[in-house]
Amino acid sequence: MWRYVGRRLVLAIPTLLGASIIVFAMVHLAPGDPIAAVLPVDASKEQVEAVKKAYGFDKPLPVQYLKWLGRVVTGDLGKSIATRRAVILDVRDSLANSLVLAISSSVLAFGAGIALGLLAAFWQGRWLDKLASAVAVVGVSVPHYWAGIILIIIFSVQLNWLPAMGAAADGGIVAYLRHMTLPTIALALIPLGVIARVVRSAALDILAQEFVLALRAKGLGHRRVFTHVVKNSAPQIITVLGLQFGFQLGGSVLVEAVFSWPGTGYLLNLAIFQRDIPVLQGVILVLATFFVLLNLLVDVLQTYIDPRIARH
């Protein structure tokens, strides 16, 4: 088991390094000179050279990459071009808001999705099953940014129940909760559909196995059979939950844009329009690292629950 964990950890390093190369390359993907944003239009040649030197752009690319990586590893993500603040501070502040949203929408989606999937499997072919299938298809097909706008139209514009924009960071806990309700629902739609679908098929697989028949023959009631099914489909379900949580964290850019929720997605959006490449890089690097580590955690958790996996 521990050997397996160690091996997975080692395997995550090249992935992270590769991701860092992609993030580093973004500066050079961007059209125009990366330092043009810092300089006045009428900068002299000497000024241009000086700034280039200050930012290290006069060195060959591999050297620039290694230097950048060295700083990144110590938590120095550079300075924002727009605000001159350290990128790490901006990312840290917004990450808290994004985490809150990712957790709340995951709790909602996991709870509702697992319940719906299990109920659908136990009442296969009945109306509840059909409802679950419909929810699953809608969940994976709906553009969540549009769902967000629809929620705003209904609950903010028409009914005037909930606020449409921002996070009300200093308005107390109730105001904060009210602000996060709509984005939470919008963000929960996709994982709700995916989870309901996966849980249903995982539970059906288990229900079709002989041991379930044996349990029933033994005289166990529905509820006891139910716990056995849940236990046995847990590894598969956990994988999906882990992946979905990662998607929630990285995929909330569009929903955050709709609700002006001050998370990493909103920060990323701002950075793109201010052509603030250091912030863009910082946000993406931090989110990718989170995502890779989360996948690692899921793998380890899965092996813990079902040790047979490590032997493959």
Partner 1 sequence: MSILALPTGVGVVVGAPLSYWRTVAWRLSRDRATLVAGSLLLLVVLSAVLAPWISPHDPNAGSIRQRLAEVGAPSHVLGTDEQGRDMLSRLLWGGRMTLLAGLTPVLVAFVLGTVLGVSAGYAGGITNTLVMRTMDIFYAFPAVLLAIAISGALGPGLPNTLISLSIVFIPRVVRVAESATVQVKGLEYVAAARASGAGVWQILRHHLLANILGPVLVFASTQVSLSIILAAGLSFLGLGVTPPAAEWGLMLNTLRQSIYVNAVVPALPGLAIFVTSMAFNLVSDGLRDAMEIRA
Bridge partner residues of 86 (DSSP):
79
How near is the Cβ of 6 to partner 1 at its closest, in Å? Answer: 18
Residues that bind partner 1 (CB under 8 A): 14-16, 18-19, 21-23, 26-27, 29-31, 137-138, 140-143, 145-146, 149-150, 152-153, 157-158, 246-247, 249-251, 253-254, 257-258, 268-269, 271-273, 277, 280, 284, 287-288, 291-292
Q: Which of 107, 129, 251 is nearest to 199 (CA)?
A: 129
At closest approach, how far in Å is the CB of 41 from partner 1?
A: 19
Q: 264, exposed or middle or buried, with CB in 10 Å at 0-12, 13-18, 19+?
A: buried
Nearest 5 degrees, angle CA 3-CA 1-CA 307? 145
C-beta closer to partner 1: residue 6 or 18: 18
**48 vs 292, beta carbon nearer partner 1:** 292
Question: Which residue's structure tokens are 């029933």?
Answer: 216
C-alpha span between 247 and 239 (Å, rounded)? 13
Min dist CB 111 to partner 1, Å, is: 22
Q: Are 144 and 187 in contact (CB under 8 A)?
A: yes
Of 206 and 249, nearer to partner 1 (C-beta) is 249
Compute the least distance from the CB of residue 143 to partner 1, in Å.
5
CA distance 67 to 226: 56
Tell me 86's DSSP state: B
Nearer residue to partner 1 within complex by CB, 130 or 216: 130
Return the number of other C-beta atoms located less than 10 Å from residue 170's C-beta: 7
By beta-carbon proximity to partner 1, the closer residue of 19 and 301 is 19
Provide, rounded to whole angstroms, the least separation between the CB of residue 21 and partner 1: 8
